[in-house]
Amino acid sequence: MTKESESYTHGHHESVLRSHRRRTAANSAAFLLPHLLSDMTLLDVGCGPGTVTVDLAERLTQGSVVGVDASDDVLESARGLADAHGTKNITFEHANAYELPFEDDSFDVVFAHQLLQHLSDPVAALREMKRVAKPGGFVAVRDADYEAMTWYPESAELTEWNMLYHEVTHAYGFEPDAGRRLASWVRDAGFDPATIEPGASVWCYATPDDRTWWGGLWAERCTESNFAVQAKDSGLADDVALEQLAQGWREWAAAPDGWFAVLNGEVLARA
Ligand SMILES: C[S@@+](CC[C@H](N)C(=O)[O-])C[C@H]1O[C@@H](n2cnc3c(N)ncnc32)[C@H](O)[C@@H]1O
């Protein structure tokens, strides 16, 4: 599989976008926020529907933001969001993370949220991010770690879902346990180790509203999203098995003591 033809595991089914649209600068980029100055230029690589991107642009009141993604559909959605917010200092462009269409040393900050786990060569993408960041500028990345996800109550279906997710992503050449590897990838991409600040933070879903949202979207993703297509195409699951996983998610969401934590690795480094 070439880098140009990599197939984003989740795709952009509504159930996937419902997940991404909950993201804000505060809940997804808190590790970067203390370093932002209002006149900075920022590139968001793999910006998806752009909720974090627009939020960042609104903080950079004297600066500007560019969001890039490999999917035209999701870029349309991001542009619509920026229009709805009246955010003027932002543009969205189609681009491949491996070949960013920008000159060397272009941005004060280059950010990628939940992107590297979906790339077969995350180190190459990090080198490209480093190239377009100004010398001394920030490169900031954050990715979940699927093996480290944990939940209550115990559920054979959720355990099976997590194992299947690993099998499918590995079959397509991606690393779902990206969070723990980010610092290593950043080092391999040639960043000065003295500037690398590794960390972690957690999303936790346990209120009735959060459980309905998170469990409901994963139930749908198990049967409707690109993940379901790839699981079936690679012979790792059939419709019956995927429906069982979806049912497990619905049961988890309905459990009054349901609790789910997503551990995210994050790294800030200087270009
Ligand atoms: C999990 S989503 C994250 C979206 C957004 N950063 C967020 O956190 O809401 C990953 C995004 O990366 C994009 N993507 C995947 N491979 C890419 C590539 N090679 N170049 C640019 N974008 C890519 C996908 O289209 C998708 O929108």
Query: 214-265, pLDDT tens digit by residue?
Result: 999 999 999 999 999 999 999 999 999 999 999 999 999 999 999 999 999 9
Q: How many domains does the chain have?
A: 1
Q: What percent of the chain has pLDDT over 90?
A: 92
Nearest protein CA to atom 1 of ligand 1, as residue:
114
Length of the chain: 271
Q: For residue 209, what is the enclosing H or E element?
A: helix 208-224
| CATH code for position 8 | 3.40.50.150
Query: Residue 4 pLDDT > 60, yes or no?
Result: no
What residues have CB less than 8 Å from 42, skipping those under 6 apart? Answer: 36, 56, 57, 60, 63, 64, 65, 66, 107, 108, 109, 110, 111
Query: Residue 210 pLDDT > 60, yes or no?
Result: yes
Nearest-angstrom CA–CA distance, 67 and 93: 6
How many C-beta atoms lie closer than 10 Å to residue 1's C-beta? 9
Cβ of 115 closer than 6 Å to ligand 1, yes or no, is yes
Give me the domain span that covers residue 162: 3-270
Nearest-angstrom CA–CA distance, 93 and 91: 7
Amino acid of residue 97 = A
Cβ of 120 closer than 6 Å to ligand 1, yes or no, is no
Which single residue is written with the structure tokens 């979906």?
Answer: 118
Query: Residue 194 pLDDT > 50, yes or no?
Result: yes
Q: Quick one: which of 111, 110, 53 has its CA closest to 79?
A: 53
* Two structure tokens written together for 211: 């459980």
- Coil/strand/helix, residue 38: coil
Cβ of 142 closer than 6 Å to ligand 1, yes or no, is no
Nearest-angstrom CA–CA distance, 22 and 158: 22
Mean pLDDT score across all residues of the chain: 95
Query: Residue 2 pLDDT > 50, yes or no?
Result: no
Cβ of 130 closer than 6 Å to ligand 1, yes or no, is no
Q: Is the pTM of this model over 0.85?
A: yes
